[in-house]
Amino acid sequence: MTPDNSVDKALLRANGLSASVYNRNRGREFHFFRNVSFHIAPDEVVGLVGESGSGKTRLGLSLLGLLREGPGLYAGSLSYRLSDAEPLDFSFQHNGGKKRGEPLRKGLAPVLGKRIGLVMQGAKSALNPYQTIGTQLKDTLALAGCPGTQIPVVMEQLLSAFSLASRSASIAHRYPFALSGGQAHRVMIALGFAMGPDLLVADEPTTGVDSPIQALILQHFKAFRKGTLGPPRHASRPRPSMLFITHQIDLMKGLTDRVMVMYAGELLEVFHTSQLGQRPHHPYTERLMEIANEAGGRAAVHSIPQIPGRMPVMYDPPEACVFADRCSLANERCRKEKPELVVDPQGQGVACHERH
């Protein structure tokens, strides 16, 4: 069933969100992202795609109050409508203080790891080094409200789904230091699923793994969404929503409902996944698609050497179109006037003077 992804049903709504970190050596702010607005509906999977350094991880972390660098969010607002929880609303204002993120961190604390989950980029360092994998999985499932009798069953299901247990051996008794990078990566995803959250932010869960494992992980994300993998959900709760972060646009088909394209800390386009390649896209989205096609769907799009120019340095982000230096369609207006991302009621939009 296609989710109702209209903005008034949003489970998460971000409005004009901006974040930066103050660099003492330079005496200036480095902008992670600016004026980002979007929503995610219940039971909706939204992809966030863009090159390395575009701000995807910082945006994902900020939604969970986990932006560690300096003051963090300085403008905009965030609203959460999670099941069985009070509405949570936060707004951010630049006040020069050092603890701008504190109310968000405190406000989200009761729902983090329960209604909101995270699969972090760089898995190994994110696991608790003092507890075995089995204990971490068990505690996570208990915290998520999984009935005690079900915990061993779901643990077994998750461990075998991610090839972490066989008849002869399970990694449940091991500590994180004894895991390979690939195992730690899969444990991190299994823990994200074990939380049984309403919203799961998954940051590059398929990066750095070979094709068969990538296919397996994608299959499990689909199963988690359907409710056939992970802890049982009460019938009154919607299926989980996800923000799926990747630099591979070709992974979006079959998993996401909508795609957001990020570049230099700005959202340049939002579209329904079914429209991928079927509508006029932002020139940057087109480049990402071309590169994915050239690589036959196996692209690791870490940079775009085919396009002359580089991503703007975010100490001094352009006030006009951020993609102008690399865009073959750029004209005088593009270098003077910032194209706004106007998202229509169906949840689609392009920030480009030449594409609508």
Ligand X SMILES: Nc1ncnc2c1ncn2[C@@H]1O[C@H](COP(=O)(O)OP(=O)(O)OP(=O)(O)O)[C@@H](O)[C@H]1O
Residues that bind Mg ion (CB under 5 A): 57, 121
Q: Does 303 engage in binding with ligand X (CB under 6 A)? A: no
329 binds, among ligand SF4, Mg ion, ligand X, none (CB under 5 to 8 A by kind): ligand SF4
Residue 156, classified by CB atoms within 10 Å of its CB into exposed (0-12), middle (13-18) or buried (19+), is: middle
Q: Show the beta-strand stretches assigned E in 4-50.
A: 12-23, 28-40, 45-49
Q: How far is CA 117 from CA 42, 68, 110, 191, in A?
A: 14, 17, 12, 9
Contact of 17 with 37, CB cutoff 8 Å = yes
Q: How far is CA 319 from CA 37, 59, 265, 326, in A?
A: 17, 20, 12, 15
As measured in angstroms, the least distance from the Cβ of 267 to Mg ion is 16
21 binds, among Mg ion, ligand SF4, ligand X, none (CB under 5 to 8 A by kind): ligand X
Helical axes 133-143 vs 151-161, angle rounded to 10°: 130
Complex with ligand SF4: residue 295 or 329, whichever CB lies closer: 329
Residues in 268-297 that interact with ligand SF4 by CB under 6 A: 283
| Stretch in the footprint of ligand X (CB under 6 A) among 54-62, 98-106, 149-157, 279-287 | 54-62
DSSP 48-69: EE--TTSSHHHHHHHHTT---S
353 binds, among Mg ion, ligand SF4, ligand X, none (CB under 5 to 8 A by kind): ligand SF4
CA–CA separation, 176 vs 230, rounded Å? 21
Q: Which residue has the tokens 């995610």?
A: 40
The separation between the first and the last C-alpha atoms of the chain, rounded to the nearest angstrom, is 28
Complex with ligand X: residue 122 or 227, whichever CB lies closer: 122
CA–CA separation, 283 vs 299, rounded Å? 18
Question: Contacting ligand SF4 (CB under 6 A), which of 11, 161, 321, 341?
Answer: 321
Q: Does 71 engage in binding with ligand X (CB under 6 A)? A: no
Q: Which residue has the tokens 């199963």?
A: 223
As measured in angstroms, the least distance from the Cβ of 36 to ligand X is 12
Burial 251-284 (b: 16+ CB within 10 A, else e): bbeebbbbbbbbbbbbbbbbbbbeebeeeebbbb
CA–CA separation, 10 vs 253, rounded Å? 22
| Stretch in the footprint of ligand SF4 (CB under 6 A) among 113-121, 181-189, 237-245, 319-327 | 319-327
Q: Binding string to ligand X for residues 11 to 50, with x set by CB under 6 A, is what?
A: ----------x--------x-x-----------------x
114 binds, among ligand X, ligand SF4, Mg ion, none (CB under 5 to 8 A by kind): none
As measured in angstroms, the least distance from the Cβ of 243 to ligand X is 12
Question: Contacting ligand X (CB under 6 A), which of 35, 52, 135, 273?
Answer: 52
54 binds, among ligand SF4, ligand X, Mg ion, none (CB under 5 to 8 A by kind): ligand X
Q: Does 185 engage in binding with ligand X (CB under 6 A)? A: no
Residue 88's DSSP bridge partners are 80
Question: Contacting ligand X (CB under 6 A), which of 13, 34, 39, 56?
Answer: 56
52 binds, among ligand X, ligand SF4, Mg ion, none (CB under 5 to 8 A by kind): ligand X
Contact of 290 with 335, CB cutoff 8 Å = no
Structure-token pair, residue 226: 């359907």
Q: Binding string to ligand SF4 for residues 331 to 350, with x set by CB under 6 A, is what?
A: ---x----x-----------
Instruction: Name the site residues for ligand X (rule: CB under 6 A).
Output: 21, 30, 32, 50, 52-58, 69, 121, 247
Instruction: Name the site residues for ligand SF4 (rule: CB under 6 A).
Output: 283, 321, 323-324, 327, 329-330, 334, 339, 352-354
